[in-house]
Chain A
Amino acid sequence: MSEESPTRASLTTWIPYMKPHRLRLLLVCILVVAVVLIDLLQPWLVKEVIDRYVTVSHPDSGAILKMSAAYLGLVLLAFGLTYYQDIVLQRIGLSIVRSIRIDLFKHIQSLSLRYFDQNSAGRIITNVVSDTEALNNFFTQFLANTLRGIFSLVLIMFFMLRLDVIIALYCFLLLPPVVVLAFYFQKKIRTVNAEVRHRLGLVIGFLAENLSGMAIVQIFNQEVKQQKRLDERNRALLESTILENRWFMLFFNITELFGDLAIAALIWFGGKGVIEGTISFGVLYAFVGYIRRFFQPINTISQQMNPLQSSIVASDRISRTLQEVPDIKEVAGAKAPELSGLITLADVSLAYRSGHPVLHNINLTIQPGERVGFVGATGAGKTSIMNLITRFYDVTAGAVIIDGKDIREWPLSALRRSVGIVQQDVTLFSGTIIDNLRFFQADISGARVKEACKLVGAEPFILRQPHGYNTILSERGSTLSAGERQLLSFARVLIFDPRILILDEATACLDSRTEEVLQQAIHRVSAGRTLLVIAHRLSTVQQLDTICVLEQGRIVESGNHNELLRQRGYYWRLHESGMLLEEAA
């Protein structure tokens, strides 16, 4: 739920989205009025038949038939209009929500990693999926039903006033109690319904827990006790659903009773009027017809309060996301320099939260084609350095300079294509292997993809899949082994041919045989590229040109394997204890 109470004002955020549809919305309103009008004509027509053609001295059956035929035409028209109006309104709603969804998603994509680190994936997904769906309900349900409800109500009142002002005003006396009743009951039903859902949640939670832990329940011989505990929740749920039903029934039946009593009252006042000759019988009949229709629109409108409320909450959340500002910005007219792969960190500091720096004044130059390893315990700042080089985050102080240009002056897309990163957790998307490898960009040729796969040694296992490169990955590749997934991830990076390659604990979770295959791949792949390797196994970085040892956001030692061992410092201690680093990680 949101921290601040949602404001109705947030719904105005969507006015620009509605603007292009304003003519169609107007059309819908007109159509709704027309349809409602045709429907409401019925009591009027009966009244006309009675007063004009039946209860006169010369009953005119021909006129009645003519009128029926004319009304048949109107009814057929109403059929078409109802259908058309519904489709137009729904299409408007859907296309508004479509634009909002796409804008929201685009906006989220433009946000920097900080946003994704600070907001749980679940929240963002809810925002994109459920919140926009709630908004969809606003346009397709709330708007449709409220429009129809209001127009019906207004037109019924109009017809009544046309028939007889006095009786109409008497009838309007019914309105306040009915409205109060409807809204009161809807509110009440909402709260009992919330209770039902709450208790249902408890039952679901209990079931989920006990079904997944059934073995424990059985081993501890607790079946009976757990049955009792389910029974408490089940019974509580039963009671709340019965209560909910009672309220619902009460509302439904009171409305019905109101309707009957209103008719009785009409007969009382109207009947006397007919006898006294102040109104015709047809008018009385029409009132009976209209008063019955009084209740439905009010009920419909009162039922819309729930969707309205959740739409407001949802729209509030969406507009708040849309107000997020990306903190990584591209400088206008930025141009990428000539690529060689020279990286300089000049006095770089980084704090994710102000006052809590994770990197302190890092100075480091990495030559083109150099292979550098980073080691250090979790939290030492290895990944933070990579976050800076890829510009996932901007430095708090200092500068990251690649090929002579501060990366803040690079075009983002050029930077990201020059820096490739292979992560420990491989993200694959639903789709075929080849689409995953070329990231759904069909303009990348199959030959290039295959070449990369051959280079990293991924081709043999890809060809073993049922349809080779065109195999659709089931469950985002979760059926592949960790090593196979990592090979795909390597190949994917290579296809984009980055000048700088970062391996972020890319071989951490692999068994030693797969790791060897990958190490060989790394060796082949790193030729002609600047290579940065984050590792927590020393064996992974031993062969590299330079190893940087990080501790609490500082580079405490650097040099090649032998130099560092000679220093007899932190690296040496790590090396001596072998597994210590892994324990620490």
Chain B
Amino acid sequence: MSGLRIVGSYFRQNWIIYSVGVSMVAAGSLFAAQIPSILGHVTDSLRDSKLGTMEIAAYVGLIALIGVTRVATGWGGRILVHYKGRQLTYRLRKDLFEKWGTLSPSYYHRHSVGDMISHALSDVEVVRELVSMGLNQGVSGIAMLIGATYLMAVHVDWRLTLAGLGPLLFIPLLVKLLGPKIRLQSQLSQEALGAMAQTTEEVIGGIRTVKAFGTEQVVIGRFQSRVDAIVDEKMRFVRLSALFGALLPLLVNIGFIFVLGYGGFLVTMKAISLGDFVAFTLYVAMLRMPLEQLGNVINLVQRSIASLNRIDELLHVVPEVFDRTGPLMDIPLQGSIRVKGLTFCYPGSDRDVLNNISFCVNPGQTLGIIGAMGSGKSTLANLLLRLSDPPEGTIFVNEHDILHYPLARLRDGIAYVPQDGFLFSTTVLENIALSDEYPDRENVERCAGITAVHKNILSFPEKYDTEVGERGVRLSGGQKQRIAIARMIYKDAPFQIMDDSLSAVDTATERRILDNLRELSKSSPGHEEVHDKATIIISHRLSAVQRADEILVLDEGRIIERGSHALLISQDGIYAEQWFMQAGQFEEGESDKSPADVQREISQLDLDVEIEALEAGRLEEAS
């Protein structure tokens, strides 16, 4: 029930508007309840032939006045309530997104984006329905029921009221009973439809296989059974909804018959006036809709409690990474990154993803990290960025534990390129200058030049103002990665981490970019604000880390080899083996040559590969 607090506190905060709105809606319905009664009076006056033109005009004026008043008050009240309800939707979406901004990747790992979006949309929508439409209908239905009952029971005849309204009171009950069943069955038919969609998807996706096996008839049979299942589920739904659709008018009609028979009888007995009788028949017709809505409101309350609880739970997720309390190192990052005996396992798992990792990167230095998938490379990057918190006393920047920096400072000081070069669906310019509120166009172009993507960008229709599409779909993989690296350079942070971010770039361009980067990370007189940067390059391609000052080879979270490229090659271990394999010479087994010979041959081969790849790259980008 805790979720209802959200709505409760929202009502409290806006109590003035809500009390005004709700009172107006109620007043509108109470006014509306007068009309049949007035028509009853008109009837009696007509019968008694007491009416002149003036009296008729007065009645007509009264009806018109009440009509206008009830519509105006009801309208105003509903608008207020709806308006506030939609604002709540807006606020909940905003709060949810703010909360999501504080949650770390491990949370995103456990929850699908689809589910989260459905919270932000459907759950929030259900809440909105409750506080706007539900509130309006509930208030107006109850007000009308009370008004009509009062006018009929107190002023006319309570037995007739009971007879006429009694059957109608079953309507909310009926809605409450059948409503959820109909909803469930409608979900089942949706699922049947989903199953058909899935079969279609499978068959169309695997059409080559289907055709190759000549099994069109088989899949048609499968499809047919899915379609039949839809018909079955839908017919079950139809039976329920048809029952509901037939029972509703039946209840109203039975009420009407009671009024017709019993009321007619009372009129002939002179127990009630003709006008009362007329009013009764009109009330029965008038109350049908509000009573049906009351039933819906009851169901809505139940559904929205579930939604509210889900939202409430989401808003109260405790982020795993947050600023520590106590005095923090609230200064810009500088100096070296040092990792000391870092062992890490994700919460809830007992497997160490990283085991006793130590290294140090000083300004101006480059560290290369290589390893297969699952060797812990990316986890290491996540820990450096505090996307997950490392254990206390394992990672230091300028000899201070990174846990003692405010998150904002830490992340301001590190520029990062993700594996997939994630871009946002905005312009190239804004993507490169992501870290900047007001993009510096000149600087953006300089950065794009460094990553060899400037010329590509100039060939785009709107150059730097070209929209890249959702996640950069309009760009090739290589372009995306190079723009993502430009984004890192633009940020101009003292620490740089590249997580396998050149995989889609050909080797020649890779080398050019890396050379440019090395130039840049040393102090250059041209740009006074550029300081020495410490760079970490994570890669599965050895060529990317070849010129690093130190290379770590990770395997299942441990460092199994470390040293410079030359040292590792001479050690003839895993790194050397992979180096030869990636250069394509492994199978030939040139064991009789010295590594130096091999190296010479390889660079020759590299050149060919590069030319080939460059061609391919140009082709790819031209298309």
Contact = CB atoms under 8 A, between A and B. Distances in A.
Interface in A404-446: 412-413, 415-417, 419-421, 423, 427, 429-430, 439-441
A19 interface: no
B215 interface: yes
A259 B39 CA distance: 14
Given A113-B208, A208-B113, A86 B214 contact: no
A235 interface: yes
Contact of B242 (A87, A113, A215, A222): A87
Interface in A57-95: 59-61, 64-65, 67-69, 71-72, 75-76, 78-80, 82-83, 86-87, 90-91, 94-95
B584 A577 contact: yes
Interface string B203-216: 11111111111111
Contact of A261 (B64, B196, B281, B471): B64
B499 to A, nearest CB: 10
B218 interface: yes
In which size bucket is the chain A interface?
Answer: 35 or more
A419 B212 contact: yes
A118 interface: no
Interface in B510-564: none
A75 B90 contact: no
Contacts of A257: 67-68, 71
A578 interface: yes
Given A220-B434, A264-B64, A94 B231 contact: yes
Contacts of A421: 208, 212
A129 interface: yes
Given A53-B268, A219-B385, A267 B471 contact: no
Contacts of B87: 238
A348 B245 CA distance: 66
B260 A113 contact: no
Interface stretch (A100-108, A153-161, A307-315, A351-359): A100-108
Nearest to B45: A271
B470 interface: yes
Contacts of B277: 50, 54
Of B97, B210, B588, the most chain A CB neighbours within 10 A belong to B97
Nearest to A59: B268
A65 B105 contact: no
Interface in A178-216: 200, 203-205, 207-216
B278 interface: yes
A78 B253 contact: yes
Contact of A413 (B59, B78, B214, B437): B214
A10 B56 CA distance: 55
Contact of B260 (A68, A220, A238, A241): A68
B318 interface: no
Given A54-B268, A109-B219, A268-B60, A79 B246 contact: yes
B612 A583 contact: yes
A354 to B, nearest CB: 21
A69 B261 contact: yes
Contact of A217 (B93, B94, B101, B214): B101
Contacts of B411: 218-221
Interface stretch (B115-123, B169-177, B330-338): B115-123
B235 interface: yes
A45 B206 contact: no
In which size bucket is the chain B interface?
Answer: 35 or more
Given A75-B257, A87-B239, 20 more contacts: A87-B238, A109-B216, A203-B93, A205-B425, A215-B387, A223-B101, A241-B86, A242-B86, A257-B67, A261-B67, A267-B63, A268-B57, A271-B51, A281-B274, A421-B212, A427-B202, A439-B218, A539-B587, A577-B584, A578-B584
Interface of A: 39, 42, 45-46, 49-50, 53-55, 59-61, 64-65, 67-69, 71-72, 75-76, 78-80, 82-83, 86-87, 90-91, 94-95, 98, 101-102, 105-106, 108-110, 113, 116, 121, 124-125, 128-129, 133, 200, 203-205, 207-223, 225-227, 230-231, 234-235, 237-238, 241-242, 245-246, 249, 253, 256-257, 259-261, 263-265, 267-268, 271-272, 274-275, 281, 284-285, 288-289, 292, 390, 392, 412-413, 415-417, 419-421, 423, 427, 429-430, 439-441, 476, 492, 496, 539, 577-580, 583-584
Interface of B: 35, 39, 42-43, 46-47, 49, 51-53, 56-57, 59-61, 63-64, 66-68, 70-71, 74-75, 78-79, 82-83, 86-87, 89-90, 93-94, 97-98, 100-105, 108, 113, 116-117, 120-121, 193, 196-216, 218-224, 227-228, 230-231, 234-235, 238-239, 241-243, 245-247, 249-250, 253-254, 256-257, 260-261, 264-265, 267-269, 274, 277-278, 281-282, 285, 382, 385, 387, 408, 411-412, 414, 416, 418, 422, 424-425, 434-435, 437, 470-471, 487, 491, 584-585, 587-588, 605, 608-609, 612-613, 616
25 contacts: A46-B260, A64-B268, A76-B250, A79-B246, A94-B230, A109-B216, A109-B219, A128-B196, A128-B200, A203-B93, A208-B113, A210-B424, A213-B471, A214-B101, A223-B98, A246-B79, A261-B64, A267-B59, A272-B53, A285-B43, A288-B282, A392-B212, A417-B213, A423-B209, A584-B616
